[in-house]
Amino acid sequence: MIKIVNATERERRAFIEELKLRVGRTDPETEQKVARIIEDVRTGGDEAVKAYSEKFDGWTPDRLELSREEMEELSARCSGEFLEALKRAAANIYDFHSRQKQQSRIDPQPNGVIMGQRVRGLHRVGVYVPGGTAGYPSSVLMNVIPAKVAGVGEIVMATPPGRAGHPDPNIIAAALVAGVDRVFLMGGAQAVAALAYGTESIPKVDKIVGPGNIFVATAKKQLYGVVDIDMIAGPSEILIIADSSADPEYLAADLMSQAEHDPMASAILITDDRKLAESTVSALYRQLETLARRDIIERALDGYGAVIVCENMKEAVEFANQLAPEHLEVCCRDPFEYLGRLDNAGSVFLGNYSPEPLGDYFAGANHVLPTGGTARFFSPLSVDDFIKKSSFIYYTKDALMGAAGDIIELAETEELTAHANSIRVRLEE
């Protein structure tokens, strides 16, 4: 199922490259199908979206938008325990993200110059939320709450209609808790296109966030530029760095918590303790017997799982920075010892009692994270993703006269004489 590898530097690099090859590929047929859907929605509006709902979802909608009353009725079907857990998680997420909020600023100078920056939330954001077996209410919270904190004017959610037009009540409940303004029952590439271009009943948005299948991801990629997007998410990943103090039962459970997402999910343990590596593999086999998604876990661990035995923890840290995983657990005696050296990870989980699902659901840090090695240069979803910055400049006449010579020199060096002239005409007053 999962292999134990005594890896050299060359072998580790080869393994990383092999993992990265599994992401970012879209077959030409899918690209063409998505392009056709996008064009149909751009030109056909509501009727095209409804036609694709009939084709792909088996649902013939009279209208695409859920009313507030319908949302509240669906939410009422959820258990009280779930709703309370949802509210507690939302409070943690709001608290964490409220600390990220930036303020506009104005910087007056003694010579009368005024510089500054205006920060505002985007006017309208679209949030795509998968339905069916991939329906995750936690993703509603993670995508919507940072937008609310940022001050986005309107948040529009799209989620597949489900069988006979009945969406997942848990997703709708999360939308109410998070503060979604409008909900449309539509899924797939047609939903992304409708949000990007707008239709008769669906408003055009400035940005689209949220996970989805290959058609959703491809539509987001093709529409980038028409609308802003968050990121193109790949299969889920976890890397665990562990020393001899770690509990193999915990390690096995955490590896499988990510492997159950997708047969292409990656789950890797790296340790300097061979005995721990062997004990973790044994624990994997024992725990696997009780898990509902056993088949998916086995396929993921067989294809993209590994237990790597390294010489020392310095090698483990180097491997982590090379891999740049989505989730990185540090199960060591002193996990904070490593924090300052772990530069490339979506989110870092420190210690034996900070498992990855804590971040997925409850702690407050965002679970929308870069995958496929992109944590080298991408960050988790945050309030920053939902704001627009504009700078402003005010110069007095005297201040401009003082800078005129330098501006003219720079403009003429670049052979932009009209730029220089814009300054020169003011010198002639």
Catalytic residues, which ones? 326-327
**Nearest-5° angle of CA 27, CA 32, CA 37?**
130
Q: Is 414 annotated as a binding residue?
A: yes
Owner of token pair 């690209």: 31
d(CA 47, CA 336): 56
b/e for 395-424, b at 16 or more Cβ within 10 A? beeeeeeeeeeeebeebeeeeeeeebeebe
- 3-state SS class at 118: strand
128 is an annotated ligand-binding site residue:
yes
236: annotated binding-site residue?
yes
- As beta bridge partners, residue 238 has 267, 327
Residue 257, annotated ligand binder? Answer: no
* Residue ranges in 107-238 assigned as alpha helix (H): 137-150, 169-178, 188-197, 214-223
- CA separation for the pair 184, 169 (Å, rounded): 14
What is the maximum span of the chain, computed from C-alpha positions, in angstroms? Answer: 86
Q: Which amino acid is at 423?
A: I
Q: Is 32 annotated as a binding residue?
A: no
Supply 366's token pair. Answer: 């965002």
Structure tokens at 389: 């910055």
- Per-residue burial over 95-121, b if 16 or more Cβ lie within 10 Å, else e, is ebbeeebeeeeeeeeeeebeeeeebeb
Asked if residue 187 lies in contact with residue 160, where contact means CB atoms within 8 angstroms, the answer is: yes
- 395 known member of a binding site: no
Rounded to whole angstroms, the Cα distance separating 142 from 90 reads 8
**Measured in Å, how far apart are the chain's first and last C-alpha atoms?**
81
Q: Is 261 annotated as a binding residue?
A: yes
The whole-angstrom separation of Cα 23 and Cα 15 is 14
Length of the chain: 429
3-state secondary structure of 238: strand
| 190 in a labelled binding site | yes
Name which of 263, 264, 268, 254 is nearest 305 in CA terms. 268
Structure-block tokens of residue 354: 């900070």
Question: Which residues participate in the annotated binding site for substrate?
Answer: 236, 258, 261, 327, 360, 414, 419
Question: Which residues participate in the annotated binding site for NAD(+)?
Answer: 128, 190, 213
Question: Which residues participate in the annotated binding site?
Answer: 128, 190, 213, 236, 258, 261, 327, 360, 414, 419
Question: Which residues participate in the annotated binding site for Zn(2+)?
Answer: 258, 261, 360, 419
